[in-house]
Amino acid sequence: MKTKPQDLKKFRKAIDRIDAHLVRLLNERARSVLKIKAVKSKGSLHFYAPHREMEVYRRVSRLSKGPFTAESLKAIFSEIMSASLALESRLKIAYFGLPGANTHIAALQKFGSSSAYVPGPTLKDVFMEVERGRAQYGVVPIENSTEGMVSHTLDLFVESDLKICSEIYMPISHTLMSQSGDLGKVRTVYSHPQALGQCRVWLEANLPGVRVVESASTSRAAQQAAADTKAAAIAPDLAAKLYHLKPIAKRIEDMQDNFTRFLVIGRTTAERTGTDKTSIMVSIKDKVGALFTLLYPFEKQGLSLTNIESRPSRKKAWDYYFFIDFLGHIDDPKAQAVLKEIEKSALTVKVLGSYPRSE
């Protein structure tokens, strides 16, 4: 059936009426946000509430009958909540890397375009920005589904008092880019070690013998490629736009199901949502059965571990910290029972945070 010009006008007028209604509702929502701001200010409460954010996403997903997907609605409401937070107090978010890095993209996904963003050249810089109050929150990578844990992020939690208050899972896609966009001109490839590891097979098959150089971040790699006509970078698509590079090949990661988990760090803790995760750091005595003693209370209480990673303490040989993620909130009775039990045999136990589990 052919659409007539008058039909298009009719549909567009209907959209205009709906848009006008949406604007009225959004401003009505904004006025409620300002009332909440007044209440929070009197009680010295934090403006960003990860548990409330999760409640909103779940509720709008349940309410929707389509055709918008849950992911599309989440993106829309992320921007609505970002603008709402800016009415209360514009958040400043520190992130690892330069503009266009995957961590920058993850931060934008979590906090929206109405927040202010501060790049951190190193992971330590991100922690310091938040510790010194120059940013309310920081976003750092912690784990990749292909390359495993980001060890340096774990090490920084040893000395820091910052808490994990949220997590972000983001699909990672890598693009090879250069000034010319010509694969034949590439003599050097720059990227972060994790990205290089995730594209190892593609590089060996398509650029054998080409020099591969590690960079501090994928966005730094894009900067380096922008300054060298014979170089290319492996970085996200956003980096190509920011640094005026041309894509050579997209989705060059060796495993298509490639995700990175990021942590939001801050000085606040998240309330219970019912679907939470807790991260702790433990050091144990160097004796036979010590690891079994550490893990048995989780089995006894029926708490599921999602990750356990060991890191050298750097204090003496063969002395380790264990980083453990488990399902549940630290305020849950079962989690409290586990904590009391492992404190009896551990040298130190540090709760890094409880936070809503990313879906």
Look at residue 199 and tell me if it is in a domain. Answer: yes
Look at residue 221 and tell me if it is in a domain. Answer: yes
Rounded to two decimals, the pTM is 0.81
Is residue 122 annotated as part of the catalytic site, yes or no?
no
Q: Which of the residues 96, 262, 298, 322 is marked catalytic? A: 262
Do 9 and 75 sit in the same domain of this protein? yes
Q: What is the CATH number of the domain that holds 305?
A: 3.30.70.260
Residue 220 near residue 97, CB atoms below 8 Å: yes
Domain span including residue 321 = 270-356
Do 219 and 295 sit in the same domain of this protein? no
β pairing state of 137-144 and 92-96 = parallel
Do 9 and 51 sit in the same domain of this protein? yes
Distance of CA 186 to the CA centre of its chain: 31
Please state the φ and ψ torsions of residue 116, each to the nearest 5 degrees.
-95, 140
Q: Which of the residues 103, 175, 218, 260 is marked catalytic? A: 260
13-41 in b/e form (b: 16+ CB < 10 A) is eeeeeeeeeeeeeeeeeeeebeebbeeee
Give residues with Cβ within 8 angstroms of 283, minimum separation 6.
313, 319, 320, 321, 322, 346, 347, 348
Q: What is the CATH number of the domain that holds 21?
A: 1.20.59.10
Is residue 275 annotated as part of the catalytic site, yes or no?
no
pLDDT score recorded for residue 318 = 61
Please, what are the averages of pLDDT over each run of 10 residues along the chain (359 residues)?
73 92 92 81 68 84 88 88 80 92 92 92 96 96 89 94 95 95 97 93 96 94 97 96 96 90 93 94 86 94 95 75 96 97 93 92
Tell which of 87, 119, 146 closes a domain.
87
Look at residue 243 and tell me if it is in a domain. Answer: yes
Do 237 and 286 sit in the same domain of this protein? no
pLDDT score recorded for residue 52 = 81
Do 231 and 309 sit in the same domain of this protein? no
- Counting the structural domains of the chain, the total is 3
pLDDT score recorded for residue 47 = 64
The 3 state secondary structure assigned to 1-53 is CCCCHHHHHHHHHHHHHHHHHHHHHHHHHHHHHHHHHHHHHHHCCCCCCHHHH
DSSP secondary structure letters along 70-139 = HHHHHHHHHHHHHHHHHHH---EEEEEBSTTSHHHHHHHHHH-TTSEEEEESSHHHHHHHHHTTS-SEEE
pLDDT score recorded for residue 3 = 59
The edge-to-edge listing of strands for the beta sheet with 346-356 is 305-312, 320-327, 276-284, 346-356
Look at residue 288 and tell me if it is in a domain. Answer: yes
327 to 49, 140, 355: CA distances (angstroms): 20, 21, 10
